[in-house]
Amino acid sequence: MGDNPQSAGTVFDVQRFSLHDGPGIRTTVFLKGCPLRCLWCHNPESIDFRPEIGWRPEHCTGCGACIEACPEGCHQLSQEDSHHRFDRADCTRCGRCAEACAFGALTRIGKRMGVDEVMTEVLKDRAYYKTSGGGLTLSGGEPLAQPEFAEALLSAARSEGIHTAVETSGQVRFQTLENMVELTDLFLFDLKETDPARHETYSGMDGQLIRENLQRLNALGADIILRCPIIPTLNDRPGHFAQISDLVNSLSHIREVHVMPYHPFASHKYSELGKSAPLGRIEAPDEPQKKQWVHALKVSCPVHI
């Protein structure tokens, strides 16, 4: 595997038989790294561009293999009560401890993969793509934050006649999006918040580039599904739904809007990474609440949950 951005990138998951990332049965390739910091992120392992070490102490048997493997002395087992202490301060993310751990207590999250290696996985399900209308979806993180790798994967899929979708936050240079248009059958474009000040509070960026990119992508005639995460108490206000509706009705190439209801299932992922979840406890919405959100969108295209 050559290690230049055209031929390799950092991937944290390749999920076969995905049913929610575009039409049909798909393989979703999750590229690691994102420029946004959404408070409700349910893939915290996608944020950092570098590989990370996941730590699940409940799986630790105290075998000590990681202590032997770590050149930085990050792992310690207490002589008294066998308590395992993992101090990340000096960790270089070399991954040796995760390789040494046979019990899944330490795992490496994210690795460099070549285009050929990814495509070998993707091509395994070609028959399912044909019968279901599925294909390849690039997700993340922000897949277009590794633009050369993303482009190479989309080109490879195209040359195999495989349908391509890109899930993007839109927080990328427009030139990057433009380069992908010819290679991408469908964009799953996230719209998180319509108020710039709130967008900044919730994600670290004001969303202006995202809105401009959405409008410019639409003007290029790209096929777009708009995906709107709705988080109770943060962006489930009527004004936000009205703004989404106005925006969608002003754009001619949005074929559907998908409401993406908040779910609180990511807190264990944050603790595995040694991080705290940035959002306090928020109740997951119930079915009537989700239906209200759908009805609040007055758009001319179909709305799905």
Told to check if 109 binds ligand SF4 by CB under 6 A, we report: no
Told to check if 72 binds ligand SF4 by CB under 6 A, we report: yes
The stretch near ligand SF4 (CB under 6 A) out of 18-26, 94-102, 122-130, 208-216 is 94-102
Q: Is 50 left (phi over 0), alpha (psi -120 to 50) or beta?
A: beta
* φ and ψ at residue 110, rounded to 5 degrees: 100, 135
Told to check if 47 binds ligand SF4 by CB under 6 A, we report: no
| Shortest Å, Cβ 88 to ligand SF4 | 7
The stretch near ligand SF4 (CB under 6 A) out of 4-12, 99-107, 221-229, 238-246 is 99-107
Told to check if 76 binds ligand SF4 by CB under 6 A, we report: no
The two tokens of residue 13 are 């998951």
The two tokens of residue 275 are 């991080």
Closer Cβ to ligand SF4, 60 or 191, answer by number: 60
| Shortest Å, Cβ 69 to ligand SF4 | 5
Told to check if 96 binds ligand SF4 by CB under 6 A, we report: yes
Count of chain residues binding ligand SF4 (CB under 6 A): 26
User: Of residues 6, 17, 20, 61, which one binds ligand SF4 by CB under 6 A?
Assistant: 61
CA nearest to 160, candidates 221, 116, 113, 224? 116
The two tokens of residue 195 are 């108020």
CA nearest to 188, candidates 163, 157, 208? 163
> Collapsing DSSP states into helix, strand and coil, what is residue 236?
coil
DSSP assignments along 60-101, one per residue: -----HHHHH-TT--EEE-TTT--EEE-GGG-----HHHHH-
Closer Cβ to ligand SF4, 75 or 199, answer by number: 75
Q: How far apart are CA 256 and CA 254, in angstroms?
A: 6
Residue identified by tokens 């000040």 is 197
Told to check if 26 binds ligand SF4 by CB under 6 A, we report: no
CB 105 within 8 A of CB 57: yes
> Collapsing DSSP states into helix, strand and coil, what is residue 158?
helix
Told to check if 183 binds ligand SF4 by CB under 6 A, we report: no
Told to check if 82 binds ligand SF4 by CB under 6 A, we report: no
Told to check if 53 binds ligand SF4 by CB under 6 A, we report: yes
Closer Cβ to ligand SF4, 74 or 277, answer by number: 74
Residues pairing with 288 in the sheet: none
Q: Which residues bind ligand SF4 (CB under 6 A)?
A: 53, 60-66, 69-70, 72, 74-75, 84, 91-97, 100-101, 103, 105-106
